[in-house]
Structure 1
């Protein structure tokens, strides 16, 4: 039976000012970031590129993220996290502004887009571990589930608007202006994040970066549920990126009518993400990773619908379901990390999590075009859908994934948590 705290409306978590600033900044940057991938993909198409060129641009961004994530995680545990976030935002804004100028003036060449996409990936590598650690520090364990769900709901709401606006503006005025708006949004988000204050003692330098990374690696590998899900998600994410970042825009251009409908179905997925957030505000699943894994099962639906050549409305339903699954997974996973990983090493563990999760994504972008060439667009999409579904089921073989429970669960579930971290 739910306790009285769970029945009350969600309260602002401890460190409310920090939580509010982070949420506001994330909403602002989310408005720009949601339209930027659509703009970049169609910028490549408009200079004569195809699946291979889109894959190289996406792959460059992901590869740069993978290469720099561990450094970003170590720095985020050694330096004030909000300063790392601000620097990353400003670097990202600069690269997007340069790309916007090149695209608007018609001077963009493929190697320039690849290079600036890689710069965006480096910025993300420094931003993501710091942002996750900063959010964890601002939220009480008691209200963590609702706080994370509300945070994601705010972010995803901005992505609905951003994706719809991005697709519309790409069709109306061109991709360069959408990239410029992203640069403005990132700059505004950096200004808000500059107002954050790190909690006292949150940045405690260790004996050195290599030693710090070793500690983070021990924390990461000592939890079987953690690395099992990360390995699984690495393959799932590779298939997801191939389907939605490379093959999806091509199908949209050939069959769905171009960037505007593609932006709209991405906005529908954003609506699903918001619906999932509202669900997770009220629903507190006891088995965190079991709930999250079932959320991932929905990821393969859009690829399957695209492969089947179904109408746009059916694709919208699949994207909506995928969005719900994404938030169920995201909130459940974040809850598991917060309650099981020490705060002092959280950003390093988050960096290993991010690094593992996106490690194969560049491979997904690289093989998307050859796969489409060998199997056809539909065959490649079916392969992506199958990979996402099978890997989501396979990870359930790990007992800790099925049994890890949130704090306050009955004693047997807590015992399983202890086994998972032994």
Structure 2
């Protein structure tokens, strides 16, 4: 999950903090060059902006590379003789890598042009994937190497998310934000969780994980090149002399400012706390245990695992597309939180599944119920968080949401060994629903959403 004035921004995001900057003026002119009289489907309106067309293409390529990477990583661990414990170690390393620099990443996103951050992250990820591809193909790989690489790539992701979140409102009009979040919510699952994993499963099955890593590296390079086409925009805040003369002290001050904003904003605090607990109980089972359920209990292999991920992605794409095609719901906070809670219920089906197709169907429903609320969440942050705080709040979202992810990854294997796979899935399916209801009532979200509507009637 993972950025306010309460209510819509009074100034179009593409013009905030950009006066006098030639490059950003060019972006603003492009954003304002809407095709009059031509009505596009609501979900496609962001493509009137040329800058976003390049960004969307880069996002699609990056999502594909990530989808190939994650499946190849799982089966590389298995190729090396690893089990749930070893896969937990590799996944935990990635989660810890994300967690450590998350707060600093928000400060950087509010101080450094976001395009430069994203280019650096894309370069690091491409090199990391290329290294693993070489080591796997040469049979020189090891579990500890995979853990180190995923740790580094996780650190890159920590910087990517707040920079991307802070950059997006500077590139497109506010009226297109919900459509953008819906389109991206469709692209990530379709390409990152369906097409990418499907290709990876086929390549791993026909050749090897090393070949799949090579595919991910090549497509990652394409994403890097395309990203250079997106115009650079100026940061949307004014830095005083204290930031230059006392960079460390001012960085901590920036972190405190973002944290204080989160604490005094009930809808934000309640949602992030709920997300943390939800991730604690469901992320480990989703990422670590399902591959071994397929392999050890249902007699499946890499192709079956890729089908489950593809179903999750297709369901997510449909959920995102549906949300992008309608107006913002009046009860957006309630729908968002309860929707995420209900999205975990398909774990109950997975717990009793005796056929792979049952897991595939449950994954599709889960994907839809997770992705539709994510469209609301992204739009909510971009519209209710002040532009000068957006990077830091996005990083706090990232930090708080994933703070328990390493524990979830680390516990998934041992807990499943102790109480069984099915009982672990039962817990993952029931607990988030209860926590979602508690968070909604405790933070008085129904009253807040009526006081701060995000749609005009």
TM-score (norm 1): 0.90
Of residues 61-70 and 291-300 in structure 1, the stretch that sits farther from structure 2 once superposed is 291-300
Of residues 52-61 and 309-318 in structure 1, the stretch that sits farther from structure 2 once superposed is 309-318
For the residue of structure 2 that corresponds to 1:142, the secondary structure is helix
Of residues 133-142 and 338-347 in structure 1, the stretch that sits farther from structure 2 once superposed is 133-142
For residue 357 of structure 1, report the CA deviation from its aligned partner: 0.4
Say which of 356, 369, 393 aligns to 1:325. Answer: 369
1:59 aligns with 2:97: no
1:336 aligns with 2:380: yes
Aligned pairs (5 A) from 1:10-409: 10=42, 12-13=45-46, 16-159=49-192, 160-202=194-236, 204-205=238-239, 207=243, 208-254=250-296, 255-284=298-327, 285-405=329-449
For residue 195 of structure 1, report the CA deviation from its aligned partner: 2.2
Q: Structure 1 residues 298, 169: closer, same or farther in 2, change over 3 A?
A: farther
Q: Structure 1 residues 174, 375: closer, same or farther in 2, change over 3 A?
A: same
Does the CA contact (< 8 Å) of 2:266 and 2:443 recur in 1?
Answer: no
Does the CA contact (< 8 Å) of 1:164 and 1:263 recur in 2?
Answer: yes
For residue 157 of structure 1, report the CA deviation from its aligned partner: 2.4
Q: Structure 1 residues 306, 199: closer, same or farther in 2, change over 3 A?
A: same
Deviations 1:104-127 (A, max 9, x none): 221111111110110110110111
For residue 102 of structure 1, report the CA deviation from its aligned partner: 1.4
Does the CA contact (< 8 Å) of 1:70 and 1:352 recur in 2?
Answer: yes
Deviations 1:271-301 (A, max 9, x none): 1111112211222212222121232134324
For residue 379 of structure 1, report the CA deviation from its aligned partner: 1.6
Unaligned segments of structure 2, at least 5 residues? 1-36, 244-249
For the residue of structure 2 that corresponds to 1:199, the secondary structure is coil
Distance 2:238 2:422 in 1: 51
For residue 34 of structure 1, report the CA deviation from its aligned partner: 1.2
Of residues 213-222 and 105-114 in structure 1, the stretch that sits farther from structure 2 once superposed is 213-222
For residue 203 of structure 1, report the CA deviation from its aligned partner: 5.8
Q: Structure 1 residues 58, 391: closer, same or farther in 2, change over 3 A?
A: same
Distance 2:148 2:423 in 1: 31
Distance 2:176 2:398 in 1: 24
Of residues 24-33 and 248-257 in structure 1, the stretch that sits farther from structure 2 once superposed is 248-257
TM-score (norm 2): 0.84
Q: How many residues align?
A: 406
Distance 1:248 1:360 in 2: 19
Q: Structure 1 residues 337, 415: closer, same or farther in 2, change over 3 A?
A: closer
> Relative contact order, CA 8 A, sep 6+: which one is greater?
2
Distance 1:398 1:316 in 2: 35
Deviations 1:101-158 (A, max 9, x none): 1122211111111101101101101111101111222232223212221232233321
Distance 2:448 2:216 in 1: 39
1:414 aligns with 2:452: yes
Does the CA contact (< 8 Å) of 1:266 and 1:319 recur in 2?
Answer: yes
Of residues 145-154 and 224-233 in structure 1, the stretch that sits farther from structure 2 once superposed is 145-154
Distance 2:367 2:272 in 1: 19
Q: Structure 1 residues 295, 178: closer, same or farther in 2, change over 3 A?
A: farther
Unaligned segments of structure 1, at least 5 residues? 406-411, 417-422
- Match in the other structure for 1:9: 41
Q: Structure 1 residues 16, 258: closer, same or farther in 2, change over 3 A?
A: same
Distance 2:324 2:336 in 1: 15
Q: Structure 1 residues 403, 181: closer, same or farther in 2, change over 3 A?
A: farther
- Match in the other structure for 1:420: none
